Amino acid sequence: MDDAMEVEEASPTLVTVQFRWATETFRRTEDQVHGRYVYRSRGTLDGLGGLRLQYQRSEAVGAWEITSSQGKCLYRLLGDAASPKDFLGQQSWARCRGPPCQLVVMQKREVDPGGWIEGGLLAFDGKW
């Protein structure tokens, strides 16, 4: 198996990050930086905006960063993880400005957007 296929199999298609104020879903793109996929959240209707989750490396250290659409770092998780799958769960992320904070990274399963769910079977079945 070649390296590109191994990276693709190890990298989830969708990742959800839970911030203190909201949850944001990131979709894997075809772009790669330092052999790791770049993830983007949904932006505005004109294709601008949104957040990016990508790996950055300097001479001394590597880190996964959540950046703004302008490329400014918002949060950073130091380490050499091959994909977000390697840091699922609650982690302490460094804010690029300010004290560290806890973010929860989750792998999300892609679901068909169509279909019908009977509401009474979910919240009112008495098994909650």
CATH of the domain at 102: 3.30.700
Predicted local distance difference test score (pLDDT) of residue 95: 94
* Number of residues assigned to the chain: 128
CB atoms within 10 A of CB 128: 6
Residue 42: which domain range?
Answer: 3-122
Q: Is residue 90 in some structural domain?
A: yes
Please indicate, yes or no, if residue 96 is contained in any of the structural domains. Answer: yes
pLDDT of residue 49: 80
The model carries a pTM of: 0.77
pLDDT in tens, the chain (128 residues): 455 555 556 799 999 999 998 999 999 999 999 999 999 998 766 667 889 999 999 888 999 999 998 889 999 999 999 999 999 999 999 998 889 999 999 998 876 666 655 555 555 555 54
Which of 58, 57, 60, 51 lies closest to 26 in space, CA to CA?
51
Q: What are phi and psi of 42, to 5 degrees?
A: -70, 130
pLDDT for the residue 115: 61
Q: Is 128 inside any structural domain?
A: no
Domain for residue 102, yes or no?
yes
Domain count, the chain: 1
Query: Is 117 domain-assigned?
Result: yes
pLDDT value at position 1?
46
